[in-house]
Amino acid sequence: MAAEALSPDRAATIRKLLLADLGVSGLLVLIAVLLAVGDDPAGGVTTVVVAAVIGGLGWAALRSVDRGSPAARRIVVATAIVLILVSVLLVGIFVGLLTVILGVGLLAVLMAPERES
């Protein structure tokens, strides 16, 4: 089965969600610094690792969507699943809720049927 390309409308929506993913990743780095400087250095390390993982995947997915790569759909699915899974690690802070919403949103946009014009 050949990978089908994303439609321009769907790619634009996914791009916005991936930019939000990168924003959450940046927010997590700030939270990690606060945790590391504060009283929870282990939480800071965990948070910065999660930020690096979701930031790296988000960046790779964004590049593949922008380039119109045939693998874009698979990379976006992987990014969404990782966002949902890492939300468990972030359940103690509000950002954990944002990551699961982003992950589910990416999957919903990616898997929804195309609208007919």
Summarised one tens digit per residue, pLDDT across range 14-42 is 999 999 999 999 999 999 999 999 988 99
Domain range for 38: 14-111
Q: Which two tokens stand for residue 114?
A: 């195309």
CA distance 3 to 37: 46
Is residue 1 situated within a structural domain? no
pLDDT at 73: 93
Q: Is the pLDDT confidence value at 79 over 90?
A: yes
Number of domain units in the chain: 1
Buried b (16+ CB within 10 A) or exposed e, 62-76: bebbeeebeebbebb
CA distance 102 to 57: 13
Is residue 9 situated within a structural domain? no
**Residue 6, φ and ψ in degrees, nearest 5:** -80, 145
Is residue 58 situated within a structural domain? yes
CB 72 within 8 A of CB 18: no
Is residue 49 situated within a structural domain? yes
pLDDT at 89: 86
Q: Is the pLDDT confidence value at 117 over 80?
A: no
